[in-house]
Structure 1
Amino acid sequence: MTKKKSILVTKLLSSEQKMKLANFDLIEQELIQITINDQFKLDHVSDFVVFSSKNAVKALEKGGLIGALKGVKVYCVGEKTAEFLKQLDINAEFVAENAFDLANFLILEKPKKITFFCGNLRRNELPALLKENEILVDEQVVYQTDLLKPKFIQKFDGILFFSPSGVRSFCQKNKPEAIAFCLGNTTAITATDFFEEVFVAEEQSVDGLINTLNETYGYA
C-alpha cells in the first residue's frame, strides 16, 4: 500500500474540505493569530480608499465605520476582500491580485492622497510605489498579525499556505523543504523567497487551493 503524502494545512478546514483531502495524511496547525482593532478613531477618509485584505474590512465593520466609505472610491487586493465589501454594500472600483498591481493601477488614476487600511505586517510595495509617484498615503493599521512560529518535528511533502505571514511564521523555525501550495500571488511571491517549488491556486479560494493540491498529486 502506498504511503499517503503528508500535508500541513496552516488553517482549520471545514469537514467538507477535509473530505476532499482524504487521500492525504493531514496535519492542521494555524501559524498566525489575527487581532482585529475595532477601537481605532477615524477622523477623515480620503476620496480614494485601499484595503489590503478582508481583515482590514472586518476592522471597519466591527468598529461601525463602514459608513465612512459611502461616496468614496474603494480599491482592494483579492476577490475575497471584494466579496466581503459587496456584502456590506460597498462596490470595489478595482480588484487587484496583489498589492504591486494595485499600486500601478492607482498611479494611473493619479489620486493626490489615499487612505490605506492594512495590518501591521503588510508588504511594502503599495505604499512605497505610491510615495515614489508623489501620492500621499494615510496608513491606518487596523489589525495585528502575530507569527506563532511553531516547530515541527515531522517532515511534510506539501504545505498549504493562505498568507505571506503564514509562510514567514513557518520558516522561522522550520526548513522549507516541502512543496508550497499558495492561495494567491502575494503569498506565492513570499514563498518563492524560501521554497524551491511553489504552486499557486488557479482559483483564489480554499477549495481552489485544495483542487490544485489534488491535481498536483494526481487525485483530480
Structure 2
Amino acid sequence: MRAILVIREFDNFSRILSESGLKVINCQTIAVAPLEDLSEFEAKLDAIKNYDGVFLTSANATEIFRTKLSARNVNFQGKIYVLGKRSFDLLKSENLNLVFAETANTAREMLENIALDELKNKRFLFVRGEKSLRVVPEFLGKIASVDEAIVYRSSRVTIADDKIKEIQAKSANGEIACACFFSPSGARSFLQQFGAEVLHQIKITVIGNTTAEFFERRDLKVDFVARRATAEDFAVELIEYLKI
C-alpha cells in the first residue's frame, strides 16, 4: 500500500486517514505561534465596543481572540464573522453574536454572503496572522473602516536531512501516492527544503483554492482540491478520491 504524505503534524486529518486503513507519513514544515507581544491587539480588545463587528478567517486567530476576550469578561454586542467550521466550533459556546456561512470556503465567499447594507459605513476589526491574505480589508476598504490586528505568525520548521532523503527515496520508488497541503506557507516551506522534483512523482492534493493557486503559479499540477475547507472534509473527500 502506498503512503499518504501529510504536510503537517499528526492531527484529526491524519487520524481519519489512518482509521480508514491508509498509511500516513507526517512532515510538518511550518509552526504557528502567537506573537510574543500582543499589546497592540489587547489595546484594540479593550476598546472593542467601538467596533461594529470582528472578522476571523483562521482558527489560529479565533483561538487567540477567544482567549483574550474571555479574560476581559466583556459583553460584546457586535457581530463576529467567522470563516470555517473549526472557528465556529471554538466560539459557539461563547455568548457572542456569530455570523457563520457553512457553505463559504474562502474569505471572499464569506463576505459575498453578507448584505452590503450590513457592512456599509461600519467599523470592523480584522484579527489575522502575519502572512494572512488581505481579502477582508481589500473588500471592505471602500465601504467601511477596518482596523487590523496581527496575532500570530508562521515560521519554517527545518526538516532533518535523513527525513528529506527518506521521503525523496519513497517518492522515487513509487511508495507515496500523494502529498496533502493545507496552506501556501506550508507548501512554500516544503518546496524550499525538498525542491519541486519530488512532486513530479506524486499527486498534489490541497485544501482550498488559495493553496491550489500557489502551486499553479509555479507550474505544478494540482490533482485534487477539497470542495469543503475543513481538514475533516478534506480527509473524507481524499479517501473517496483515492478509491477512483
How would you bin the TM-score normalised by the shorter chain? 0.7 to 0.9
Q: Quick check: 205-214 or 184-193, which moved more?
A: 184-193
Alpha-carbon distance between aligned partners in 2 of 1:87 and 1:119, rounded to the nearest angstrom: 24
Shift of 1:172: 2.6
Question: Which fold has the larger relative contact order, with Cα–Cα distance below 8 Å and residues 6 or more apart in sequence?
Answer: 2
- Equivalent in the alignment of 1:129: 139
Report which stretch shifted further, 139-148 or 186-195.
Answer: 186-195
Change in CA separation of 1:84 and 1:27 when aligned onto 2, cut-off 3 Å: same
CA distance in 2, matches of 1:158, 1:80: 25
Return the TM-score normalized by structure 2. 0.74
User: Which structure's CA Rg is the greater one?
Assistant: 2
- Name the counterpart of 2:16: 17
Q: Please name the residue that 1:162 is paired with.
A: 182
1:19-168 matched pairs, under 5 angstroms: 19-24=18-23, 26-37=24-35, 39-40=38-39, 41-42=42-43, 43-45=46-48, 46-63=51-68, 64-65=70-71, 67-68=73-74, 70-95=76-101, 96-105=104-113, 108=116, 109-131=119-141, 133-148=142-157, 150=159, 152-153=164-165, 154=168, 155=171, 156-168=176-188
- One-letter code of the match for 1:28? N
- Check 1:130–1:203 CA distance in 2 against 1; reply closer, same or farther (3 A cut): closer
Matches of 1:86 and 1:187, distance apart in 2: 28
Structure (1 or 2) with the greater helix fraction: 2
3-state SS, counterpart of residue 93 of structure 1: strand
Identity of aligned residues (%): 25
Question: Kindly tell me: are residues 134 and 203 of structure 1, through their superposed partners in 2, closer, same or farther at Cα, counting changes over 3 Å?
Answer: closer
Unpaired segments ≥5 residues, structure 1? none
Q: Secondary structure at the match of 1:33?
A: strand
> What is the letter of the counterpart of residue 146 of structure 1?
S
- CA distance in 2: counterparts of 1:94 and 1:111, whole angstroms: 21
Report the CA distance between 1:105 and its aligned residue.
4.4
* Distance in 1 separating the partners of 2:177 and 2:78: 46
* Residue-pair matches, total: 214
* Change over 3 Å in CA distance of 1:163–1:92 after alignment to 2: farther
Contact persistence 2:77–2:96 (CA under 8 A): no
Cα distance in 2 for residues equivalent to 1:100 and 1:146: 26
